[in-house]
């Protein structure tokens, strides 16, 4: 099961390197990093919970059988069962990074324009900004996942299965878990990043 912490460690390194290159080492970068990591962590937790409830794992993913054959022959030691959660982390990372950095940048600019802005007002502004971003970011995730498996989706629908059969199929379950867990990470990253920025930039009221 080592791939889960390895994937999370890679997400931490990618987040830190990307934000430092883009914005340098400053308060905005730290806020964006913290918001991203918390959002991705919550997406991974949501993915694990969904796996447990729906009783699905990485063994049902594409090419899992090929990886299993490699492992049986000793050519690969990759753990397969948790690859679904690792995929959720990777899928959520880009969108959460975008939301976190946008809110952090906006908070920095607001504090520069009005240095007396209270934390609660900055939190409210961050929530308003993030609320407008959630819809587009979740659409981006869902459409990207749908587009990558469009051929298989058309094939499954052409079989004439009943709606309940489609929803209970392994492929639909996997894609639904990935899309919903990633979207949950994006949505939860908004209030958390806004709260972090409010604490970092807002003026404490007496």
**201 and 122 Cβ atoms separated by less than 8 Å:** yes
Cβ-based neighbour number of residue 39 at 10 Å? 28
Please name the residue ranges forming H helices in the chain: 3-23, 27-54, 64-72, 83-113, 119-148, 150-158, 163-167, 170-201
On the question of pLDDT at 1 being above 50, the answer is no
On the question of pLDDT at 205 being above 70, the answer is no
Does the pTM of the predicted model rise above 0.85?
no
Provide the pLDDT for residue 165: 66
Positive or negative CA dihedral for 30, 105, 35, 120?
A: positive
Q: How confident is the model at residue 2 (pLDDT cuts 50, 70, 90)?
A: very low
Q: What is the pLDDT of residues 160-194, one digit of tens each?
A: 767 666 666 667 777 777 778 888 888 888 999 99
**200 and 174 Cβ atoms separated by less than 8 Å:** no
**40 and 8 Cβ atoms separated by less than 8 Å:** yes
Where do the structural domains in the chain lie, given as residue ranges? 3-201
* Beta-carbon contacts of residue 184 (< 8 Å; ≥ 6 apart): 42, 43, 46
Q: How confident is the model at residue 59 (pLDDT cuts 50, 70, 90)?
A: low
Q: What is the pLDDT of residues 131-140, one digit of tens each?
A: 878 877 777 7
Positive or negative CA dihedral for 93, 98, 102, 105?
A: positive
The arrangement of secondary structure in 3-201, i.e. its CATH architecture, is Up-down Bundle (1.20)
On the question of pLDDT at 153 being above 50, the answer is yes
Q: What is the pLDDT of residues 66-83, one digit of tens each?
A: 556 655 555 445 556 667
Q: Which of 4-8, 17-21, 98-102 has the lowest mean pLDDT?
A: 4-8
The three-class DSSP label of residue 169 is coil
């Amino acid at each position: 099961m080592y791939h889960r912490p390895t994937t999370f460690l890679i997400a931490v390194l990618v987040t830190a390197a990307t934000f430092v290159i883009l914005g340098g080492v400053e308060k905005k970068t730290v806020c964006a990093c913290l918001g991203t990591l918390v959002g991705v962590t919550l997406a991974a937790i949501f993915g694990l919970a969904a796996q447990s409830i729906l009783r699905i794992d990485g063994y049902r993913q594409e090419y899992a059988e090929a990886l299993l054959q490699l492992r049986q022959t000793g050519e690969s030691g990759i753990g397969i069962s948790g690859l679904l959660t690792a995929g959720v982390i990777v899928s959520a990372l880009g969108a959460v990074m975008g939301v976190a950095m946008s809110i952090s940048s906006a908070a920095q600019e607001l504090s520069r324009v009005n240095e007396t802005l209270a934390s609660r007002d900055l939190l409210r502004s961050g929530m308003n900004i993030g609320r407008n971003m959630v819809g587009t970011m979740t659409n981006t995730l869902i459409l990207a996942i749908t587009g990558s498996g469009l051929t298989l989706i058309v094939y499954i629908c052409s079989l004439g299965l009943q709606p309940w059969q489609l929803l209970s199929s392994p492929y639909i379950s996997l894609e639904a878990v990935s899309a919903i867990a990633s979207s949950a990470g994006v949505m939860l990253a908004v209030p958390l990043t806004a709260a972090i920025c409010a604490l970092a930039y807002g003026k404490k009221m007496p």
